[in-house]
Chain A
Amino acid sequence: QKEVEQNSGPLSVPEGAIASLNCTYSDRVSQSFFWYRQYSGKSPELIMSIYSNGDKEDGRFTAQLNKASQYVSLLIRDSQPSDSATYLCAVNMDMGRRALTFGSGTRLQVQP
């Protein structure tokens, strides 16, 4: 079992729809969680961080964390073609002793 799991996709949604990206993690004591966006040929760009259970909203993005179920999700409202990218989930496990652990990413395609 991978430590951070994501569906590789591609996830295809029409323009204007809500895109829902999911991530599960194995270490129950993980404390901090991040979503990165990576365009082809570019480095990952941080878009959201979340540290406590519940929802966190930033513009069109909402991160959701459920520590009991060990999953974190990212919702993108009013999806745009420019949102087409690979979305990486990252989890900070074993604070201070290990690096950020990344999932393999979900490729999102927003159809005009």
Chain B
Amino acid sequence: SQTIHQWPATLVQPVGSPLSLECTVEGTSNPNLYWYRQAAGRGLQLLFYSVGIGQISSEVPQNLSASRPQDRQFILSSKKLLLSDSGFYLCAWSVMESTDTQYFGPGTRLTVL
């Protein structure tokens, strides 16, 4: 069966510090991968998605970047965090070009102070 992992589960970082969040998927090959952010009281906002290794599409211009160094690994990064980067970050995967559901990881709670 397929599983999706995210780490860390929680993170508290000072403004201006770098960020690296990791997501890995097991039990499937060549998935679509997604990064979402959920701010308090708001819906999930799609940040990045990837249809293959090294292929990243950005949905929202911002302080963050994403990379996909391996087929089932998706990384969210920042060189310098802002207060507005605080939120709940969710990684998800789906079967490529499928209208099936997306499967979500457990999330990372990021607090920038």
Do A and B pair up? The answer is no
By a beta-carbon cutoff of 8 Å, the part of chain A in contact with chain B is: none
